[in-house]
Amino acid sequence: MSIQYSVNFDEANKHIFNVKIAIPKHEQSVLNLSLPAWIPGSYMIRDFSKNIINLTANKGREALTIKLIDKQNWSIHSGGEAFTVEYQVYAFDSSVRTAYLDQSRAFFNGTSLFICVNEFQDQKHEVELLAPNFTNNWKVATGLQRATETSVYRFGTYYSDNYAQLIDCPVEIGDFTHLEFEVAGTPHYLILNGKHYADTKRLVKDVTKLCQHHIDLFERETGAKPPFKEYWFLTNILPSGFGGLEHKNSTALLCSTFDFPNVNKPDELSDGYKTFLSLVSHEYFHNWNVCRIKPEEFVPYRLNSESYTQQLWAFEGITSYYDDLSLFRTGIISFEDYLKLKSQTISRVNRGKGQLKQNLIESSFYTWTKFYQQGPDAANNIVSYYTKGSLLALWLDLTIRKATNAAKSLDDVMRALWAEFVNKGADYKGTQLDTIITIVDDLIVSDTTASDAHSTNIRETFYQLLNDKAPIPLTELLADFGVELKQVPSKAASLLDKSPDAHSPYLGFMFKESKLGVDVMQVLEDSPAEKAGISVQDNIIAIDNIVVSKGNFANVVNNLALNQDYTVSYIRNGELFNSVIQLIDAVNELSQMTVIDAEKANNWQTPT
């Protein structure tokens, strides 16, 4: 017995999916229907039910009454007879989290499209994707299982073993580029939907390396095969955009048109391409870390309301540590380039005062509001469990290596977490706050060169770092691995770029290009900009009566003297304001890592 859905795309010009559910005869006289309020991997209540239109139920020609329970729950008195439910879903969100439909592309997550019949959620679910009447060029890409009669990329019948699997397999549809390759004997599909000029051979080569790295890391002792039969990279390409959302055998990616390797420049490794590969690495790593290994609060997911956990620093932070590290390990970037990327992460964490007001446990716990609904105060009042979590992962990795003379590392912790998941199978209950540090204890104690006292000290420091509202102490630890970490001044026009000049004025705000002047994106606490009354979303049009733009901003500022009053002119809410600003000497807030002992640095670079 199974639930059968059909999805019609013919109202693409209205951005409306038409969905029909066929429910077979059943024992219950009343069935309960629901739609998730959030999607796993994106921790914010999104109320997907707000996009449902014209929800009806019919038993033959008889209309059934749908009882409204709340914003996302309904019940139907069916008397146990077969009936159908029909509804429409408005879809015009190009993010990776919801659904989108127009004449050129269709995309959806099941959490947006498929109402759950609660009493049937553990049964087989079938989905018939109906070919649209306005094009013959569309193809289908999804991790859903294909029916025997449905060929790859074709419209037809797909299915899942249960509702949880159904909503874990997003669907990408359009006239896309499809690239196929194998990793560890497993089919992988790289879908590029949108305008691009990618060197596809190089792209496949690099993505293959990253996938193989992660499989080798986790599956070295479990058969060297990934935990899925096939894998799909569903990539939506827009003029500008960035994002990713993990699933058990696929990922939805969002990137920009020029984030790919240029076929005309085979030796170029652009920042955009590095960022895309890091995104690919990050989401693929999630196949193990959070899609399967996960905090106890997510076993199982409860998608009707917030599900609080204190552990996102581990699942996003550790994943963020490995995403760039794997680019180095696979030879895509040099170790020096990796250190630059990691230095930027340290700079982002240290730039604002957020980590002095929120610890990693709080950052994880309050993600539902403080991280996913960030206000203009974010840099000053919260810290990201992605970025600071990756620094704690760095601390863990180097601390384990130091305690075991580089015989063990964070690699071994991840394999131990994976072995627990595999060994417990259906009895897996998820991780607790002390799971990781307990594994670290075992690794260190089992190493003959480490003492119990050393292990105890590491445990205490670990908990202190989780709970402290302070920077992660990395300088001395990095020095033990031949890497110098120091603070240097940043450019006036970019707080993430090193200033080459002795004269480097500091204003303390981030901006982006605007049609007139520059738009303020971030104002740091206690900075000259804050003291001048500048706020996020202000449009700065002149400094010292000289009109500024992104192009000339650095020249204007670098010609001004320090500690003198200058007029800054800006527009806020349609009104022109003038304030007085004093530039100060550069604040050494930019982190820079440099190898000073290659032999010691090798003890960090080598996988264990």
| Residue 372 pLDDT grade (very low, low, confident, very high; cuts 50, 70, 90) | very high
Q: What is the pTM of this model?
A: 0.95
Q: So what's the pLDDT on residue 564?
A: 95
Do β-strands 539-543 and 518-523 pair in parallel, antiparallel, or remain unpaired?
Answer: antiparallel
Give the span between the Cα atoms of 459 and 399, in whole angstroms. Answer: 11
**Do 343 and 593 contact (CB within 8 A), yes or no?**
yes
- DSSP E strand boundaries for 516-555: 518-523, 539-543, 546-547
pLDDT higher than 70, residue 161 = yes
- Percent of the chain, pLDDT > 90? 91
- CB half-sphere exposure, 262, CA atoms < 13 A: 9
String of DSSP letters for 350-406? HHSSGGGT--HHHHHHTIIIIITT--TTHHHH---TTHHHHHHHHHHHHHHHHHTTT
What's the average model confidence in pLDDT over 61-67?
Answer: 96
Hunting for tokens 């020249």 — which residue is that? 555
Q: So what's the pLDDT on residue 587?
A: 73
Do β-strands 186-193 and 231-238 pair in parallel, antiparallel, or remain unpaired?
Answer: parallel
Q: So what's the pLDDT on residue 503?
A: 73
- CB half-sphere exposure, 287, CA atoms < 13 A: 26
What's the average model confidence in pLDDT over 155-160?
Answer: 98
Burial of residue 297, with CB atoms counted within 10 A of its CB: 0-12 exposed, 13-18 middle, 19 or more buried: middle
pLDDT in tens, 258-308: 999 999 999 999 999 999 999 999 999 999 999 999 999 999 999 999 999
Q: Which residues pair with 33 in a beta bridge?
A: 74, 117
pLDDT higher than 80, residue 586 = no
**Do 25 and 81 contact (CB within 8 A), yes or no?**
yes
Helix then strand then coil, in percent of the chain rounded to 5, is: 30, 30, 40
Give the span between the Cα atoms of 410 and 396, in whole angstroms. Answer: 7
CA dist list (Å): 365 to 132, 307, 360, 389: 43, 9, 9, 13
pLDDT higher than 90, residue 590 = no
Q: Report the run of H or E that residue 11 belongs to, with start and end.
A: strand 2-11
Do β-strands 243-246 and 250-256 pair in parallel, antiparallel, or remain unpaired?
Answer: antiparallel
First to last CA, the chain: 48
Do β-strands 231-238 and 250-256 pair in parallel, antiparallel, or remain unpaired?
Answer: parallel
Q: So what's the pLDDT on residue 505?
A: 86
pLDDT in tens, 471-483: 999 999 999 999 9
pLDDT in tens, 503-542: 778 899 999 999 999 999 999 999 999 999 999 999 999 9
Please calculate the CA angle 137-143-146 and round it to the nearest 5 degrees: 75
String of DSSP letters for 223-241? TS--SSS-EEEEEEEESS-
Hunting for tokens 């072995």 — which residue is that? 419
Amino acid identity for residue 35 in this structure: L
